[in-house]
Structure formats: structure tokens, C-alpha cells
Amino acid sequence: MRHWLPELIALPLLPFLIAQGRYTRHVTPRLPEASGPTSGITGETYGTTKPLHLLTLGESPVAGVGVGTHAEAITGQFAHALSGRLHQSVAWQALGKNGATAADALQILVPQLPQRQIDVALVAFGVNDTTAFRSVARWRDDLGHVLAALQERCTPRLILLSGVPPLQHFPALPQPLRWIMGMKARTLDAAACDLARTIPRLLHVPLALDPADPALMAVDGYHPSARGCNAWAQQLAEQCLHSGIFNEKP
């Protein structure tokens, strides 16, 4: 029953919520995906040792919406944070699509996965599944298939599964839409956390950003700014170090 609580609460408010959603889409600035290369290498000054390979797979933040380039987006900043902590170069690649659900990723992004081993993968979905009001069963199934495909094609040493962002704090969303979406996001995030416990070498990392801090958000109040991506990247890099994978031989 708790999985259906957001739907049960939203049902009598549906006409008003639909109107709020349409108004929000109308007044919220539509930002483009980041420009420039979607792959690169950082920390080349650390010498000729073999670089660490980082891959990110996800929705609009991975596509760089809210920042100018992928170097400023989560992938480039995560690579920079890892490189600085490990004193090692990091080769990075971003596979992102604005507006993508986990189901969309299976059709659009998964076919683009490289057929080679990587060291660290970041998977970041959930906002679009939340706004689409995906059922918990469908979300878990779609996300599970994305993770299985990633493991099969890339055999990552570590997968970080980013928590679904706390939509209840997104300044771009009016009330009560914000409250309902936040409840739905928490429900999907709990399902993602449960799924993560069943998969080895996978860590669920709750998103610790505060969307109410305007410095961390882009001008649309919906996507992370470069500063927000930096804070997120530092959190992810710390999780990588705490995982212990860098104490193991590849």
C-alpha cells in the first residue's frame, strides 16, 4: 500500500496538479544540454600510469543541462574530484539524455555503452520516472535492466547509483505539486535502494545537495549548477574512496 500512497493522495488533486504541471513547464526556462565533447581525460599531469576509466549514464544532469560544458557537469567534475584524490589521470565518458526515463535509457543510451571494462560507473535516473509517475514495479524493473546491461557490457569494478533527487525541495515546483512529487521521488528512491542491496559492487548514494540553496541550482531552479555539480562530485568521490576498490588490484 505504501508504494501507492503518492498516487492515492494525488488522485483527488489530479486536475489541479495537471494545471500546475503545465504552468510550471510554461514558465520554467528550458535549458540546453551541455556543449562540447562528451568524453575526455583529466589529471594528465600525474604521469603515464594507466588512467582510471569513469562512465556516467543518466538523465539531464549527465547530459549537462544547467551548465555550459561537460567539464562543468557532473561527469567532468566527478573525474576531476577522483583524479585529485587518487593522484591519477581519469578518462571519462558521459552518456546522458535530457528527459530520459530508465525505460528510455534501455532504448537510447544502453546501445551506446562501450564493450570494455571500466573502473567506476555512475547511474543517475529517477526525476523523469517520478514526474511520469512510474509504478514502483516498473521503475525497479527498468532500472534493473539498465544495471544488468551495464554490468554485462562494461563489468565495472564499482557502480554508484545516485539517489533520486528530493523533488520536495525543488524551488521550480509550486505546492502542492512539489509535495506530491517529493513523496513519489522518495518512494522510487527507496525501491532503488532496495535493488542496490541485491547487486554486488553497487552502492546507492543518496543525493546530499540542498536544492533550496540557489547557488547549487541553475537558473531554472530544477537542475544543478556548476557549483552544485562540484558538491555532488565531491560526495561521489568520497564514496568511491570509502568503498575500498582502489585498494584492490584491477
What value does the mean pLDDT take over residues 232-247? 91
pLDDT tops 50 at residue 1: no
Sheet bearing 90-96, strands edge to edge? 39-42, 90-96, 52-58, 120-124, 158-162, 202-205
E strand or H helix at 53, and its extent? strand 52-58
What value does the mean pLDDT take over residues 83-90? 93
Q: What are residue 205's DSSP bridge partners?
A: 162
What value does the mean pLDDT take over residues 223-237? 97
- Angle, helices 177-196 vs 14-27, to 10°: value is 90
31-35, 151-155, 205-209: the lowest-pLDDT one: 205-209
Retrieve residue 18's grid coordinates.
Answer: 495537471
pLDDT tens digits for range 14-46: 665 666 667 677 677 789 999 999 999 998 887
pLDDT tops 70 at residue 161: yes
pLDDT band at 3 (very low <50, low <70, confident <90, very high): low
**What's the pLDDT at 9?**
61
Four-point Cα dihedral 213, 218, 224, 228, nearest 10: -60
Q: Which residue has the higher pLDDT, 30 or 91?
A: 91
Identity of the amino acid at 123: V
Retrieve residue 171's grid coordinates.
Answer: 524551488
Q: Decide the pairing of beta strands 39-42 and 90-96.
A: antiparallel
> 165's torsion region: left (phi>0), alpha (psi -120 to 50) or beta?
beta
pTM of the model: 0.92
- DSSP state, residue 165: P
What value does the mean pLDDT take over residues 222-239? 96
**What's the pLDDT at 99?**
95
Q: Of 25-34, 103-112, 162-171, which one has max mean pLDDT? A: 103-112
Q: Of 24-28, 66-70, 175-179, 211-215, which one has max mean pLDDT? A: 66-70
Domains of the chain: 2-11+44-241 (3.40.50.1110)
- DSSP state, residue 35: B
What lies within 8 Å, CB to CB, of 78 at 6+ separation is 54, 56, 92, 122, 232, 233, 236, 237
112-148: b (≥16 Cβ within 10 Å) or e: ebeeeebbbbbbbbbbbbbbebbbbeebbebbeebbe
42-46, 194-198, 246-250: the lowest-pLDDT one: 246-250
